């Protein structure tokens, strides 16, 4: 995985969480794996397509932009299927809107 793309997705996620008053999952591995999936899709498809869904045709999904992060359900209703952006009332939410690149690397190496 290109560190630059992972870092871009990390910065995007932190910024978006702060802007929308959402928080990362209390299980930091969830955050790490979702960010890795977004980075992989950004690299392979040119867009951060939601990595937690199955698609018959990923290229068509990218063009429709419905599941590009932040996806339409997240933008409209603050519903994140991936559990990357959680509202304060969610049982799995943490108090964190930040994750360091070093922590991401450590979590993804295990």
Per-residue pLDDT tens, the chain, 110 aa: give them. 689 999 999 999 999 999 999 999 999 999 999 999 999 999 999 999 999 999 999 999 999 999 999 999 999 999 999 999 999 999 999 999 999 999 999 999 95
Q: What is the C-alpha to C-alpha distance for residues 79 and 73, in angstroms, rounded to an integer?
A: 5
Residue 87: other Cβ atoms inside 10 A: 14
* Spatial distance between the Cα atoms of 55 and 91, rounded to a whole number of angstroms: 28
Known catalytic residues? 52
Burial readout 14-46 (b: 16 or more C-beta within 10 A, e: otherwise): bebbeebebbbbbebebbbbbbbbbbbbbeeee
Domain 3-109, CATH 3.90.226.10 — does that match? no
- What pTM does this model have? 0.94
């Amino acid at each position: 995985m290109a560190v630059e793309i992972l870092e871009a997705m990390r910065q995007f996620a932190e910024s978006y969480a702060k802007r929308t008053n959402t928080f990362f999952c209390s299980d930091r591995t969830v955050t790490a794996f979702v960010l890795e999936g977004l980075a992989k899709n950004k690299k392979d498809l040119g867009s951060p397509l939601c990595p937690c869904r199955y698609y018959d045709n990923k290229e068509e999904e990218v063009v429709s932009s419905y599941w590009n992060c932040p996806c339409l359900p997240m933008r409209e209703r603050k519903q994140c299927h991936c559990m990357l952006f959680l509202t304060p009332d969610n049982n799995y939410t943490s108090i964190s809107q930040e994750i360091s690149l070093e922590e991401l690397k450590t979590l993804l190496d295990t």
